[in-house]
Structure 1
């Protein structure tokens, strides 16, 4: 029963990945029938490429800020929904709705809002900050991408935190209330230690997904203004498939994969150790 799935996975994932590693040691442009082996030259030049270094810096900055924001907001929303409020299931569905929407569709909608609705609203209200399109500002365009990415990512993370909160025994809160514990003490000494495994999952998945940001950048800025918001994924796509740098960007993809893997493993090791300490 598993053979068809294994064959499909190997055909569309494993084999292309191995091909990419192979081509990273060549000078193939993606179209020619011939190519030459160049060894580690592609990897050597990557570390001297300013565009590559800038894309890594932008992606790391974006991923770090977005990961922190999405986990803070998701946990706050989950704690609020976990309280005994009316229409709890309705609000859960509302908060989960962004997760089922297409990333590109959401990006284009927010692009319209940033470019047309908010500037018009800012002019009418006399708010200078809103009167200009933030996506056209080289210094602040990345904030627009953060807003969209965090808004949509909160949906999935909130559901995971809600699942974790359901595993906390109510008896613990009853015992703490008898001791006169405050809400903050309950959260820090009971809630957070009990949902620490869910925090680990959310942190690792969020960081991985944000490091691979692509659709939001395409829909909102296209990597601009200039190359101010060009993520690693977008650079690999544009230069590899459209710029004739297939082998060169294949090497970039290999390094990119290693970086994501190392960061994910480091997160898991550190956060799991924190789980034990808590």
Structure 2
């Protein structure tokens, strides 16, 4: 037994060291630099205390980035879970080529986010506009990614399309855990499909709903690749997410310390939202 435990420890130590070197240490360095005025170049910098954190709450660009990110995350999280649950219910039914359709719906999850983004960028700017002009549909005749008021919808469409894949698979896994005897009993009682869903299906897949909601919200709040591929934060700053602002400001705008402070706040916000989601949704599981 001791030899087995020793082997386990030796297998764990390299992973811990790698995690500390490439994840924990850079995070600690970022926290350290957030209290300085370092621009990311050279070795000269001064400590400024919490000045960077105070200035963040006065920065309109930061406020707009947080507003855009929260708005996008809420819409994507809700629509992703609603659509993926509907698709999972359909794929769980006894239909022909069920396994084939499951594979098709999971395909977007294995594709590169950047590649998908560039493909949709081309579709929005070339293909859909041509279709709209030929069909006489004004809303499709112009590239929505070039509109300050509509560009976020294009980003949301791409995010939802790619996020549905994993959520659908998780919901399918949850549906497989429900005993068929419960549905047989409800049929004998004359329960409608809608009643079955709210009284049997949804309560029993509540843990899967919880993890899907948390993952979808976290991934949406951390949106970056889709922004780079579709709009690069434009038009203007209309679709600049928090991650994109931190990257462009920290590595291209000479605001390394300032954006390090932003990233600390960003991490705290995501952690708090995820914890609150877990507590609320897990409490709901117990109540159901």
TM-score with structure 2 length normalisation?
A: 0.96
**2:273 & 2:155 partners in 1: Cα distance?**
22
Choose which of 228, 245, 249 in structure 2 pairs with 1:235: 245
What residue number does 2:6 align with? none
Choose which of 127, 134, 137 in structure 1 pairs with 2:147: 137
Does 1:259 find its partner at 2:269? yes
What residue number does 1:197 align with? 207
**2:235 & 2:218 partners in 1: Cα distance?**
25
What residue number does 2:118 align with? 108
What are the Cα deviations for residues 170-205 of structure 1, in whole angstroms up to 9, with x where unaligned? Answer: 010011111000000000000000000000000000
**1:120 & 1:74 partners in 2: Cα distance?**
30
**2:133 & 2:253 partners in 1: Cα distance?**
40
What residue number does 1:167 align with? 177
**Residue 32 (structure 1) shift:** 1.7
Does 1:209 find its partner at 2:228? no
What are the Cα deviations for residues 137-188 of structure 1, in whole angstroms up to 9, with x where unaligned? Answer: 0100000000000000000000000000000010100111110000000000
**1:99 & 1:175 partners in 2: Cα distance?**
37
**1:185 & 1:124 partners in 2: Cα distance?**
45
**2:139 & 2:36 partners in 1: Cα distance?**
49
Does 1:19 find its partner at 2:29? yes
**1:107 & 1:153 partners in 2: Cα distance?**
13
RMSD: 0.4
Number of residue pairs aligned between Structure 1 and Structure 2 = 278
Choose which of 127, 134, 139 in structure 1 pairs with 2:137: 127
What residue number does 1:76 align with? 86
**2:53 & 2:140 partners in 1: Cα distance?**
43
1:28-67 map, 5 Å? 28-67=38-77
What residue number does 1:271 align with? 281
Q: Which consecutive segments of 4 or more residues in structure 1 shift more than 2 A? A: none
What are the Cα deviations for residues 217-259 of structure 1, in whole angstroms up to 9, with x where unaligned? Answer: 1100010000000000000000000000000000000000000
**Residue 104 (structure 1) shift:** 0.3
TM-score with structure 1 length normalisation?
A: 1.00
What residue number does 1:92 align with? 102
**Residue 95 (structure 1) shift:** 0.2
